[in-house]
Structure formats: structure tokens, C-alpha cells
Amino acid sequence: GAGVSQSPSNKVTEKGKDVELRCDPISGHTALYWYRQSLGQGLEFLIYFQGNSAPDKSGLPSDRFSAERTGGSVSTLTIQRTQQEDSAVYLCASSKQRGNNEQFFGPGTRLTVL
């Protein structure tokens, strides 16, 4: 079946602009995660959705970052007033449930802020 998909694959924007990154999880996966991978760094947790529960936003670096998940499926990560330090690869993952099930990752969106 189809894996996790993300769009766009690459995004170049100017400092101060808003951007939206999209994630389509695997069908039937109730948990969805966003991570950020800066150059030379590991993945940094941003936010996590599980079913109808309130999302865990503890990893969002500032109030310029927000995310929503509509209908328990597609998720959008929004970064307002982008800064150069926001440049990174943004990875989305989904899993069946919050147990010990594997997180399946999408190919990521590479964001470059000029």
C-alpha cells in the first residue's frame, strides 16, 4: 500500500513569508508525528497527534509554528514569518497506534529560507 507522503518535496521561501507543509499518513494510522532535521543534526520532535486527543505540542520551537490535523488524516504544519534558522528538512511519520508500533516516515520537505 501507499506510504506516508509529503508535499512539497522542496520549498524555497523568503524570510518573513508563511509556509505550509503537508503530510498524508498511511491510511488507518491514528498517530501522526512531525520532526525537524537541521543540517548535521538528528531529528527533533515537533508535535504529535493521536486520534481525537489533544496534540502534544511540547516540541514546537516557537509560537510561529503550528499544526493541525483535519478529519484525523491529513496534517498541515504551518510556519509563520519564516526565519533563516527554520531552514531544515521537515519529516512526518505515522503509526497504527500509540503502542509499540513502528513509525513510518515520509520523504520529508526540504525548506530553505533565504
Quickly count: other Cβ atoms within 10 Å of residue 15's Cβ: 11
* Residues in Cβ contact with 103 at an 8 Å cutoff, skipping those fewer than 6 apart: 31, 33, 93, 94, 95
Here the cell at position 26 is: 498511511
Residue with smaller CB distance to other proteins, 53 or 78: 53
Nearest to 65 by CA among 51, 52, 82: 82
Q: Which of residues 67-106 bind other proteins (CB under 8 A)?
A: 89, 91, 93, 95, 98, 100, 102-103, 105
Q: Rounded to a whole number, what is the distance in angstroms from the first to the last CA of the chain?
A: 37
Binding segment toward other proteins, per CB under 8 A, in 20-28, 40-48, 60-68, 71-79: 40-48
> Total number of residues binding other proteins (CB under 8 A)?
26
| Residue ranges binding other proteins (CB under 8 A) | 31, 33, 35, 40-45, 48, 50, 53, 56, 59, 89, 91, 93, 95, 98, 100, 102-103, 105, 107-108, 110
